[in-house]
Structure 1
């Protein structure tokens, strides 16, 4: 591994964002941005939807079904890529997302809306997974980390744009147009994909002539494992929406037991094939397992942001608009960190992978101390301190994220690179579902459901203090070398 912080001969952002690569970058980043923007648009307009078509008792299922369907879509992405080829698979995902979006826009009642949200989630999950998986197909290896940084940074962009887009339509009483407005983006992405992405699954990349893994196409869909994964995600998601503390705990434990069962079948020689995750994904003794674990812990820490608007409004009296965009500083930090760190190589990249979780841990502990203070926004220093803490948490995740994603592809066994890159989305979405349920469990256990100021302050302390353990665990793994780049790897170029 080189000790230089930059490689003057390595391709830069201009190589990624110009010519045909620029169009491909736009398509892949656009797929993630489309899915992520839709998440925040739907969350913003959902109160208006319930007022018009009813279904308040099914409110939480909009998120639950969407997340579970997204996980299911991410699972099928690798099979679709190998069977249909990059171009057809991506366009099929866009069609599925479009069908769900039109159902949502035309929904006369909540069951129709839930059907649309499920289709949206399924198509969006495929889009997310393909956006990561296609990076290794349409770009040369030296561009992988920058492409990963660009694609993952779209979540921050969506956090800034999604609430504004949904809020404008909801404000003027036209929530249906919030969904219709997404369809021109779908058409544009489809045209770019048709022109710039190869069609056949055996098409070689012009730059280094690597073919899409043919072995993956011969694997049947592991239906029983897919059922276990989805059932686990449903159970964990239910833990985030039930009001009873004991029931939430029971649902989460049931979900984790199902996940353990899935892992045991994947590790069993008798039941391993066909695989749902690449070899070594479930063991901390392997490099790939360590990378997945670090990704999961960092992703879990980021889910604490769902309660930040509530704390800012309840404890500090901020308006919903101000609280929402203050909370968006976390996602903005993630985007900035990913974009600025993606071009680093060698020891510079390794330092960011190790330092990132430490920054996240410090930021989470700072929030546990700052947010409960009711007088925090009385001074400019207080406002600045909470902004720095929020942005710092996102920066800490972002500076190591593109390098972790690149290492997933390089750590996989031969023939499993496509499965590994597509599984990035599965791991990320699953950790989000687990984090959301765990956040609800911790907050409600601290008395948040009572709605009083003192209980909200106590919940803020406990939530961020407990969730600081996740990045701390990732930091331990990084500093012990569990996610280190190999001596002869892409990042050592």
Structure 2
């Protein structure tokens, strides 16, 4: 792991050897021995002339431990609230649309947030290099709160859209800044366990997010649901900002406005709520092309040539997240449209996959791979289990041993989640561990790459998967046939992930 960013601990320096005699106004014949002064004599084998560890040193170690614990706890609370906010937005959407007479503008609301978020992603990268991360965290958190408040008091849908744009932009900027906080503020086992626990936060948020939104919307209104959690969010981010180590901004960092515009335009084409199927396909193709160009510009040079260990890891993460989230984007649709599942069935399937990822991720965080060879074995197993899970999902309609399709779909998605859990946390650990020979990537470079790879690949594949499943003529049978083909393609593509795994050298340790 990189050298500690915390201030170096002062060397133990005991009191001057003459301190007691200098500070004691003894009289002739007064006993100034250790026992007489209330100081225990040195133990057997100790040199009485060598000072032992002093209280300042012990206090410094204790302060570092408290700071690290507070930072990790604050990051986990922020992750939990981020998940709650995600489910909150989904829950209050129909309530907001009914109140503001905007049922026909669901697509516009979604597209507005997505475009603003993608515009903020590259700006957050540049800002994280030019300004201190604690100040950025608080500034963007205040901006998120302002956008949420504007949404809550919106008298019309247009004010709500303005608030959504503000929230989305700030969330995009803060995504890279938050990952930078994990990389620069935590090290070693603490960072490994924190990354694993972050996965569990999303399971908790899946349980409490919709319940919170439904309860407060029923008791008060959806407007209060938009702002009720904000004081806790501000407090959590303040804890994180307060306990982050100081880091001087880099004068070499640049804010890429062109990348921000490119990503925003690409996302606008992809998320545009167009009714015409053919125009929708054209805009999707243009958006994917622009997003592909943006990918090469925002990821580290040489990522897909995989010439270094961490470049290969970024390429692996890009493919892993893209393929998993492609399946994730259609699993609920398949459960409902193909197999006629209700809300309870959909919830069971989604929760099964989420628990599989979270629980295995926790185990991998607690017992991380000891070296690159161990990581490749574990990630290779994860790739195999993920591919198997998607194959099982494709076979859900076969009713193996009389088992219903929803149950088979849940089993397959659980396996997919287990495969993702075997890969994800260890991949981040390897990515955030600098190699013995410098590869030209800083802590902020790899943290930004992690966010960008996951965001861009997920957007590309989720849009392509849902568009493919929704196009064509036919009813449920046609959709079912397309889902089998889609799952088959995803399962086959997952096996290709062994290529970047094989490009990762197996001669380096990943333990802190």
Q: Take 1:302 and 1:173, find their aligned partners in 2: how far apart are those partners?
A: 38
The residue aligned with 1:228 is 262
Alignment of 1:345-360 (within 5 A): 345-346=370-371, 347-360=373-386
Give me the TM-score of the superposition, normalised by structure 2: 0.78
Which of 175, 178, 186 is 2:233 aligned to? 186
Q: Take 1:294 and 1:144, find their aligned partners in 2: how far apart are those partners?
A: 21
The residue aligned with 2:83 is 36
- Which stretch of the first structure deviates more once superposed, 89-98 or 287-296? 287-296
Task: Indicate the SS of the match to 1:134.
Answer: helix
The residue aligned with 2:96 is 49
Which of 209, 213, 223 is 1:162 aligned to? 209
CA-CA distance at 1:170 after TM superposition: 4.6
Which of 102, 120, 138 is 1:91 aligned to? 138
Q: Take 2:483 and 2:417, find their aligned partners in 1: how far apart are those partners?
A: 18
Count of paired positions:
443
The residue aligned with 2:312 is 290
Task: Indicate the SS of the match to 2:303.
Answer: coil
Alignment of 1:412-423 (within 5 A): 413-414=439-440, 416-423=442-449
Matched, 1:460 2:483: yes
CA-CA distance at 1:285 after TM superposition: 4.6
Matched, 1:237 2:237: no
The residue aligned with 1:118 is 165
Matched, 1:257 2:289: yes
CA-CA distance at 1:401 after TM superposition: 0.8
Quick check: 2:309–2:505 contact (8 Å CA) kept in 1? Answer: no
Q: Take 1:430 and 1:368, find their aligned partners in 2: how far apart are those partners?
A: 25
Matched, 1:201 2:235: no
Matched, 1:280 2:302: yes
Q: Aligned-pair RMSD on alpha carbons?
A: 3.0
Task: Indicate the SS of the match to 1:54.
Answer: coil
CA-CA distance at 1:52 after TM superposition: 0.8
CA-CA distance at 1:421 after TM superposition: 0.6
Shift in CA distance, 42/475, structure 1 to aligned 2, threshold 3 Å: same
Shift in CA distance, 380/164, structure 1 to aligned 2, threshold 3 Å: farther
Q: Take 1:45 and 1:438, find their aligned partners in 2: how far apart are those partners?
A: 26
Q: Take 1:36 and 1:60, find their aligned partners in 2: how far apart are those partners?
A: 21
| Residue deviations 1:103-133 (CA, integer Å, cap 9, x gap) | 1211222222222222222222333323321
Shift in CA distance, 159/404, structure 1 to aligned 2, threshold 3 Å: same
Q: Take 1:330 and 1:469, find their aligned partners in 2: how far apart are those partners?
A: 20
Matched, 1:405 2:428: yes
Q: Take 1:279 and 1:294, find their aligned partners in 2: how far apart are those partners?
A: 15
CA-CA distance at 1:262 after TM superposition: 3.8
Matched, 1:175 2:222: yes
- Which stretch of the first structure deviates more once superposed, 248-257 or 404-413? 404-413
CA-CA distance at 1:178 after TM superposition: 1.9
Q: Take 1:224 and 1:282, find their aligned partners in 2: how far apart are those partners?
A: 22
CA-CA distance at 1:384 after TM superposition: 4.7
| Residue deviations 1:24-71 (CA, integer Å, cap 9, x gap) | 112222333333321221112211111110223321132222233333
The residue aligned with 1:210 is none
Which of 91, 94, 109 is 1:62 aligned to? 109
Shift in CA distance, 54/467, structure 1 to aligned 2, threshold 3 Å: farther
Matched, 1:368 2:394: yes
Q: Take 2:128 and 2:144, find their aligned partners in 1: how far apart are those partners?
A: 17
The residue aligned with 2:460 is 434
Q: Take 1:429 and 1:463, find their aligned partners in 2: how far apart are those partners?
A: 21
Q: Take 1:154 and 1:70, find their aligned partners in 2: how far apart are those partners?
A: 22
| Residue deviations 1:225-281 (CA, integer Å, cap 9, x gap) | 22222222322333xx444443333223212322344466x4xxxxxxxxx433323
| Residue deviations 1:405-438 (CA, integer Å, cap 9, x gap) | 2333336833532122123222212122112211
Quick check: 1:341–1:349 contact (8 Å CA) kept in 2? Answer: no
Quick check: 1:24–1:138 contact (8 Å CA) kept in 2? Answer: yes
Q: Take 2:291 and 2:112, find their aligned partners in 1: how far apart are those partners?
A: 18
Task: Indicate the SS of the match to 1:40.
Answer: helix
Shift in CA distance, 283/231, structure 1 to aligned 2, threshold 3 Å: farther
The residue aligned with 1:473 is 496
Quick check: 1:156–1:334 contact (8 Å CA) kept in 2? Answer: no
| Residue deviations 1:71-126 (CA, integer Å, cap 9, x gap) | 33332333333333121111112112111111121122222222222222222233
The residue aligned with 2:58 is none
Largest Rg, 1 or 2: 2
Structure 1: gaps (5+ residues)? 1-14, 203-213, 267-275
Which of 311, 334, 344 is 1:311 aligned to? 334
Q: Take 1:188 and 1:472, find their aligned partners in 2: how far apart are those partners?
A: 43
The residue aligned with 1:302 is 324
Shift in CA distance, 461/402, structure 1 to aligned 2, threshold 3 Å: same
Shift in CA distance, 233/408, structure 1 to aligned 2, threshold 3 Å: farther
Q: Take 2:138 and 2:261, find their aligned partners in 1: how far apart are those partners?
A: 25
Quick check: 2:137–2:241 contact (8 Å CA) kept in 1? Answer: no
Q: Take 1:302 and 1:39, find their aligned partners in 2: how far apart are those partners?
A: 19
Shift in CA distance, 314/393, structure 1 to aligned 2, threshold 3 Å: same
Quick check: 1:81–1:201 contact (8 Å CA) kept in 2? Answer: no
